[in-house]
Amino acid sequence: MLVVGEASGDVHGASLVKALHRQDPHLKIFGVAGEQLQKTAFEALFNVSQLTGMGLVELAGNLKNIWHAYKLLRGALRDRRPDLLILIDFPDFNLRLARIAKSLRIPVLYYISPQIWAWRQGRVREIAKSVARMAVVFPFEVEFYRRHGVNVTFVGHPLLETVTTSQSREAVLARHGLDPAKKTIAMMPGSRRGEVSRNLPVMLAAAAQIRANDNVQFFCLRASTIDAGELTAMIAEPSIPVVAQDRYDAVRAADLVWTASGTATLETALLTRPMVIVYRMSWLTYVIARLLVRVDHIGMVNLLAGKRLVPELVQGEFNPARLIGESRRLLNDDAVRSGIVQELTRLREHLGSPGAADRVAAIAQDMMA
């Protein structure tokens, strides 16, 4: 059984399922799926789009769907007794399933660690109790887990395989009715409905001011977990196209990316695009996070760089004026842009080598042997 909790997990889960089937074509895999997993030989019990939430308050607003999914998956573990439970990120939900699997003597493989080294570190005790193997995607996570007695393997980052481009900037922009001669900003407001509802209005307000005063055009990238009609209605501006296909080609075509904190920041980094990382959450979640978070940056790009390589605008700092100011600096200062691109290129060295899905599949096969 495989459980993912958001769009990025769906992508990585799909790559893993393909790798597992390359090693054993007869393997039966079921669980929670999004668009990408549903394109594989996977039995979907629940759709990931109904699980998405970020933060304590935000998750509380989706408790009905979460509780329904939990009961469904708990029943599947008890009734179908899979040989292995694979969990991808989404810790508050997945660690409860891990406890059930442990009680049923079903081994648990956790792929892509939750960022417990950044906040709520006490969760590592639950992982040590319930998870048989951790497959982590950042090398610094190995020491953290070993220090707490967890069986851990660094497998490299799966984005090294999936973040690829094949089309020219001119072709991508022209296909969406945009002018390749103009500077272009890509908006990535998030993969959860709550994220989009909080982040996109600020982005659109800033975009309106920039478009009125600068020769700059925009497009918005839609995550697979976001409804296309809802996003188009929120934008309500025909000159800002919504892009869902060939997203990496689209990001690479942009001169600057506005991205919600999350996996998208690392994707943007691998495409060596300057970015502004933004995030808004409920004020209660923000206050709690300020008390619990133990790192200096919210963006993985800055965490890996060990410094504020790209701007981060969080909560009250994320407003149209600040976003416009940072954007004009990154669009117009060639020295700043060049320095960021060079450092983003070097970040790849922190992510290991391609082949993460095959390595995790090999671990899974070993655990089921």
Is residue 163 in some structural domain?
no
Does residue 297 fall inside a structural domain? Answer: yes
CA distance 283 to 57: 9
In a domain, 93, yes or no: yes
**HSE-CB of 80 using CA atoms within 13 angstroms:** 17
**Same domain assignment for residues 36 and 83:** yes
Look at the chain and report how many structural domains it folds into.
Answer: 2
265: part of which helix (H) or strand (E)? helix 263-270
Q: In terms of domains, do 297 and 356 share one?
A: no
pTM score: 0.84
CA–CA distance, 182 with 46 (Å, rounded to integer): 43
For the domain that residue 245 is a member of, what is the CATH number? 3.40.50.2000
Take residue 213 and report the two structure tokens written for it: 């005063």
Beta bridge partners of 30: 43
Ramachandran bin of 37, using left for φ above 0, alpha for ψ from -120 to 50, beta for the remaining angles: alpha
Mind listing the pLDDT tens digit of every residue in the chain (369 residues)?
Answer: 999 988 889 999 999 999 999 999 999 999 999 999 999 999 999 998 887 554 444 455 568 888 999 999 999 999 999 999 999 988 889 999 999 999 999 999 999 998 886 666 778 999 999 999 999 999 989 999 999 999 999 999 999 999 999 999 999 999 999 999 999 999 999 988 888 999 999 999 999 999 999 999 999 999 988 999 999 999 999 999 999 989 999 999 999 999 998 889 999 999 999 999 998 876 565 555 555 555 567 788 998 888 999 999 998 899 999 999 999 999 999 999 999 999 999 988 889 999 999 999 999 999 998
Position 164 in a domain: no
CA nearest 141: which of 115, 108, 111? 115
* Token pair for 17: 């399922």
Structure tokens at 187: 């908006």
Q: What is the DSSP letter of 260?
A: E
In which domain, by residue range, is 15 found?
Answer: 2-157+352-368
- Please tell me whether residue 302 adopts helix, strand or coil conformation: helix
Ranges of H-type helices in the chain = 7-23, 56-60, 63-80, 91-103, 123-130, 140-147, 159-162, 169-175, 193-213, 228-235, 247-253, 263-270, 283-292, 300-305, 320-332, 334-347, 356-368
Cα(232)–Cα(220) distance, integer angstroms: 9
